[in-house]
Chain A
Amino acid sequence: MTVPKKIIRQCKKFDEKAQEHIYKKYAPDLLGICRRYFKNLSKAEDVMQDAFVTIFSKIAQYKGSGSFEGWMKRITLNTALIQLRKDKKEIISENFDFLETEKKEIKKKELNLSDIQSVIENANFDQFEIIEFMDELPEGFKTVFNLYVIEGMKHKEIAEELDISVGTSKSQLMRAREKLKKILYKKAKEKLRNNRKKY
């Protein structure tokens, strides 16, 4: 996935054909990023559109030192984070509501990792199923998990980006993993059960 330098040069001149080329080629990737953070597809597309506005308006700032795709993805992520910060109030309240019930659930039944692992892997979940399962996480959990696991950011960076403490970032990540493990296990068992019924 590389963008020819000629296309980037033309895009810097605001050539609509070059802009169209970049949009058509990279919108699915950038929307994929946005969708990981926003359950609502329409909102994810709004964020992606805003990301493209930034990309096309600031393309002159891209000096070619890194990959153009990486530059676009970083802008998209930043745009998503800006939107998340706007929605911060909602995220925090949702997280705290969840924390209390989740603590009880985790204590109630501890699952054996090897059992969980084999069941989850046998379910052969596709990308869309995984995205849907992640949507079941509270916004805050999902965001921290995405930033840490998928984007490879450190807790300090996440804390700065989301304006939360490092401790909060760590605890949300831990709980996100725990919750995801349970969701995946539950969904995997359901899927395997349904598959058995079919045959």
Chain B
Amino acid sequence: MQDEITFIDDFINKKIKDFKIKPSREWREMQTYIKNKGIKSVSYNGVKNIFNLKNEIIILSFLAALSVSVYLFNNQDNKQIETIKKTDRIITDTVNNAVLKSDEKTLKISPDSNSNINISDNSKNLINKNKTVKIKVQVPVHKNVVIKKKVFVIDTFDKK
């Protein structure tokens, strides 16, 4: 009796344990059905692809952040150069009336406004040779606020 049981059980089990049939109903039909049953089915479209690329996004974000940091670090001084250039108002012994942009404020540097701008003779010579020179500028914004900046001057003092 045991043999008979084993035979039938094993025979059937072996034959149909992994039985599969391709459904006649396509995914769209199934999707409609599950939506009708109140199950959420969200399409992420393009956004989904971003989620799929999680690791790549992390790496790219890191690289982008790094690039931006390096750029900002390197271009901090260049921006100042640009600002000075734009003013075209570099005066001989001081950076008189030069307009510098600091953050969102426009500041005027004037020898009459307690601007503490000292340019050495050596720097003056270099500037006159069209060399770039870095000078320190202290600009009083308010009674108790002074912005300290490093400014590059590439223009000549003789140019007026």
List residues of chain A with CB under 8 Å of any chain B CB. 6, 10, 13-17, 19-20, 23-24, 27-29, 31-33, 35-36, 41, 45, 48-49, 52-53, 56-57, 113, 117, 120-121, 125-127, 130-131, 134, 145, 149-150, 177, 180-181, 184
Contact = CB atoms under 8 A, between A and B. Distances in A.
B24 A45 contact: yes
Contact of A117 (B7, B38, B40): B7
Contacts of A49: 25, 30, 33-34
Nearest to B52: A6
Interface of B: 3-5, 7-9, 11-13, 15-25, 27, 30-31, 33-34, 37-44, 48, 51-52
A35 B41 contact: no
Given A14-B42, A57-B39, A28 B16 contact: no
A23 B43 contact: no
Nearest to A13: B42
With most chain A CB atoms within 10 A of its CB, the pick from B12, B13, B38, B40 is B12
A6 B19 CA distance: 27
A181 B19 contact: no
Contact of A10 (B16, B17, B27, B51): B51
Given A10-B51, A29-B20, A150 B13 contact: yes
B44 A15 contact: yes
A32 B21 contact: yes
Contacts of A149: 9, 12-13
Given A16-B31, A20-B27, A181 B48 contact: no
